[in-house]
Each structure stands twice: as structure tokens, then as C-alpha cells.
Structure 1
Amino acid sequence: MAKFTFGQIAKEVRLTYNGDKTDIPIVGLEHIVPKELTVTNYDINTNNTFTKSFKKGQILFGRRRAYQHKAAIATFNGICSGDITVIEPIEGMVYPALLPFIVQNDAFFSHAVQGSAGSLSPRVKWEHLSSYEIELPSIEEQRVLAEKLWAAYRLKESYKRLLAATDEMVKSQFIEMFGNPLSSKQKNELKKLGECCCINPRRPNITLHDTDKVSFVPMSAVSEDGHLLDILDEEYGKVKKGFTYFENNDVLFAKITPCMENGKGAIAQGLTNGIGMGSTEFHVLRPINEISSPYWLLALTQMPVFRERAAKNMSGTGGQKRVAAAYLEHFMVGVPSIEEQRHFEAIYKQADKSKFELRKSIDAIDQVIKSLING
């Protein structure tokens, strides 16, 4: 093993594009997905001032807000934002296929964040990135390591595709059983959503002491695919004011942009003492016994068409746009029988079990990748 600085194995590419931008792929930071190894998204024929050129196979590193872990291999030629550093390997110094994993390593991003300057939009310069130190084996050993890493990554991507397919299956099942919730023709009697569930129910009289624990759910603890993540316990007295109250089996719906558009929402389950306190940016939908199931409510409110319609009815400006409770109250929906809803609930839960196992496999692969890089 020999020690190198990053600047000894890779170089920054600074090429300017001055030609016609018609049909040329344009990449901004928003097109790079955090912790993904390849970039496949881009815009074309949009107004922009970008002039930095890149080629297929080069690494696009998001130098602004590096803590977002945005760095990926370009799968096409194009033009990118000035907030992206274009990187390529130095021939003979590093096996090219290994370089993306070196860049995506947590230690590399930690180094980048430490050297970032600026308050609202911290940026890191190439001079700092190039000072990162790493130990590397021979080129042949690097080749073997890169092949193992890419094999693991491809397996991970196949599991992620299965995850996405499972989500689509649930949505398709919802449409098949209940129809498009925005269609003028419904299989079941139309009712206001506010008649099918209690929206933002009042907090009842609670016998808890201030030192008793309840679950605390910030917006960051709600996923975009219907789950609660990393729920914390907090003393009731510390959160009883200024937060949203909910109980087990209530459905949380993120009302503020961009969380609403991104699909944040979940069923509250396993709450400490059966009580949760969370962000004021949640609407709470409480199922009504024998009328609605939390899984039907969650699936309905997570349907892309439901969120798209809700987005058109938001009020406010900029990043402070919100879906009003009245919109949910008056949303007209065909209400299936509780037996049909429970049948759908069984399908949803089975899909959730499959997704849980897929996530475990993905996490295990991530650990293998980390161990190979750090080993």
C-alpha cells in the first residue's frame, strides 16, 4: 500500500463550452442524486448560463453543500453548473473504475465538508479536495477491488429496482380495486374525505405526567414511501405545546412544500404510551371505525395524482406553500367498503414485508461496499 494525495491520482477538468446549446444535456446539482454513483438525469433546451463542459465517464462532484453527498459518473457528454467540479483519473495512478468509490467514500466527503467555506451556500475548492490523503494498493489489486465493488453496486441497484416495482404494484393494486381517485366515474359512492376520517382531531384530556415519555416525530423522521424512521422518545412536558398531536393508527400527511410533493407521509405505529407529538407541518387523518382503514387512507394520500392535485391547491409563497386542511376535508373520493379496504390492507402489509427484506439486503450491500473500500 502506498499513500497518495487525491491530487496525485485525479485532476480537475476545466473546459469551457461556447457552442450552440441546442439539445445538449444540461446538468445542475438537482440532477445528481445523493450517494448515487451515476448521473442519468438532465435538462435540454432550457435557459441557463452554464458553460462548464464534461464528458462521459468523468465524475461530477457537487462542490456546493458537499454534505449532500452528490458525486456521480456522467453517462453522457454535456454542460454542467459552475457548482460542479469535473474530475477525471490520472492515467497510471489509479484504476479508473475505482475512482468513483474513492470519491463516494464518507471520509472523502467529510474532508470536503471540513474545507467548505461560506455560510448559506458553503463551497469547497479543488485545492482542498486535492489534499485528501488515501492509501492505495497496486493497479492490479485496484482492478480486482473495483470489479468487486461494481458487482456489489449492480446487485444493490437490482434490489432498488425491485423496491420501486413493489411500490408500483401497490399503487396499481389500489387503482385496480378502487379506481383513479380523480376520475369522475367512481366504483363506489362519492363522499368528502372529511366524512371518511377525522382530520386534525382535537387533543383529548391526557392523564400523562410531564415526565412521562411520548414519541417525538420531526419531519425528517417521515419517509417518502410511507414509513416512520428513527422515532425519538421525549418527555411529554417538553413537547406538549407547539407540536402536532396524534395517536397510533393515525395517518400523517406532510402539508408543506416540498415535503408534500415528495410524498412524505406515514401511519403512526408503535408510539410510546400510544401518543406522538410531531412537526406542525403535518395534517393528521384519523380513521373512523368501520368506515376507513389507515392503509387505505395512506395509499390514497400517497397516490401521485392525489399529491399533484393537492399541489395545485396549495396557498402561500415560495418554500412556505401549504395544503390547507379544508382541501382534505372537501376532497371527494369513492369510499370502498371496509371489507375491501381490509383486503387492500393485507396486500399492502405483505408488500411492506417484502420491502423490509429488500432494504435489509441493500443495507447489507452498503456495509460490504464500505468494508471493501476501507479494508
Structure 2
Amino acid sequence: MRVQSQFIEMYRRAHKEMTLESVCTIMGKGITPKYVDSSSVVVINQACVHWDGQHLENVKYHNKNVPVKKRTLETGDVLLNATGNGTLGRCCVFSCPSDENQYVNDGHVIAISTDRSVILPEVLNSYLSLSDTQAEIYRQYVTGSTNQIDIVFTDIKKMTVPVPNMREQLQFVSTLQQADKSKFVGFKSQFIEMFGNHSSTPVSDYIADSYPGEWGVEDKDGSGVKVIRTTNFTNAGKLDLTDVVTRSIIEKKVKRKTIKKFDTILERSGGTAENPVGRVVLFEEDDQYLCNNFTQVLRFKDIDPRYAFYSLFYYYQMNKTYVRSMGSKTTGIQNLDMNKYLEIGIPNASDDEQSLFIAITEQADKSKYYN
């Protein structure tokens, strides 16, 4: 069930826009906890807020003898992570699991209580989760660099959000509640949780071979070699080969530059305002293909090539602002600095960990989790 598609259509029809602070009765960051091993005052931190919902196995505890001077969380609050590359922007709707404990957010999590006569929390959460909204947050409401980035609280309150009519909101929430919540939802979060604390090794150390593509010359009779362009890239890391051109390329170059199964193809020139240059796709074909001169083939050694691809794919999704800084513009096209790109760290993982993550990703229904 394409819940996200339904939501996109709903908010595109919305004629009314309001600022985030005007649709919220309460919006604020949480406490600075005084941590203890166990307490009835439970702290919701960034590790608890995931794309697929709250993960309360990651809670911490605040000393109950130190008064909590800020509002406690209530079911229906929208939680938005406010700090950190890869965690900033993650959001979910809070559901209070117990009346026996007091739940509070820490200072790195923004709690949003919506005016439910205006916008339902599930609708706001879905809007904040959209890739376009996430891109807007990173582009307009974030300060800092590398891993020290934060949402500017006074600015994001002014962000405008579409407000569909209540009938459509209720219908959407009903659909959302009935939807099959695939256990593979939230791969971004899963990748961070599995490998976020691992040490890493630069991409360059794993390169067995790397070369730019070829464009050749016009192929008038259709007998040339098939060439993959960036228009064949999808944002899900897959190739769409329904429209592939053929080009006339000399045999020596064809032999040298034929792509091998499980090579990663990197977009080294191109990019858009929303998707900077640096997208990657996994080559999974058995037929002969080359790629064009806007791309770069990355062939890996000493690591499962699919794991290397997924590492780069999720790095791009979580660090678009930094990847954008690797590109320089000429005549409107972003060109990737390959030296900087090859410094990206791939999380060090055992063979078993690599195989596990590959198995999870290959079984996933991408339409249910990809933002």
C-alpha cells in the first residue's frame, strides 16, 4: 500500500499553509538530564526516535530527585531529532507506554504537540518525513558543519507546512493505521544502529579498479554497445534500464570498461538542487554495459561489493549537505571532487555483519521504507 504516495497527493491538494509554530500548541526542546542507572523518569533521546517509530530500548533515566521543570511527553507528540549528521531530522509520533513512569525528551529532541483541530500529529509527522521536507530542513534550518550540526529552533518554528482539510487527514490516518508496517521500514536508522559506532576505512583502500565511463560517438544502426547514463539512475540505488542508448565505442575501450556484476556506478557529474551529485547505483546485470563519461565505476576488493555499495548509498542519504560540498559547479553542472569522495569511510564490519545487512536489504520492499 503506497501510504507515502497517498500523503503526497493529499498535501499537494492542500490550499492552506501555516507556520509550524501556528499549528502547534506546544513546541520545545527537553531537559538536560542528570543520568542514573534506573528511575521512574524516562529520558527519550535521539536513539529512541527512528523513521519506523519509537525505540524505547534506547531510553536513559533522569534522577527523580532533581525536579523536571519542562513539560512531560504525551501520546501524540511528534518527536523531531535536532542534532547530528544522520540523526538530525529523524521523527516519529510518541506513544506513552506506561502511566507509571514520567517521560521527558532531552535537549537534542524537539517535542511538538499539534492543535488537533488544525493538523493531526500523524499528518505532520508524515510531512516532516518526506524527502523534500528533510532537504528543506537541512538547507534552511540547520547550522554547523560535519557532525556538529543542529536545527536552529527559532528558525524552524517559522517553517510553513501544508494543512489539508480534516476529512482528508482523517482518511489518511485511517489508511496509515491499517497499513502493513514492514519490519524493513527505516533502513536509514537500521544502518546507523548496526554500524554507526564502528571504525571505518577510506573507500580508496578498498578500490581494486576505478575508471570514468565512455560516451563514444553516435550509433546510427543500433549495433553499438549499451551505455548507462545518469538518467538511468534511480534515487533508490537501482538502475532503470527501460531506456538505454547504444553508442559506437572502440573495442579496446569496450573491453577495458565493461561493467562487472556488483560494481558500483557513481554519478561524478550532474546533480540537482534536491539531490546533489554523488548518487550511486548497484550494477546487477549479466549483460554487457558501459557507462557514460558523467559516471565513474568503482570496483571493490577485500570487502563484499554489495556491502560497500550500501555503505555509500546510505552515506549519501544521511550526508547530502556534506556530499554537496564535495562538488564544484561549472556551467550549471556539479562536478564531484573524486579525491575527497574516496576519503569517505566505510564502516568496518565482519563478514557476518556484511552478509546480514545485505540479506536484510535484498529482502526489503523498498517502496515501504524509501524516503
Relative to the length of structure 1, the TM-score reads 0.44
Greater radius of gyration (CA): 1
Relative to the length of structure 2, the TM-score reads 0.45
Richer in helix (by share): 1
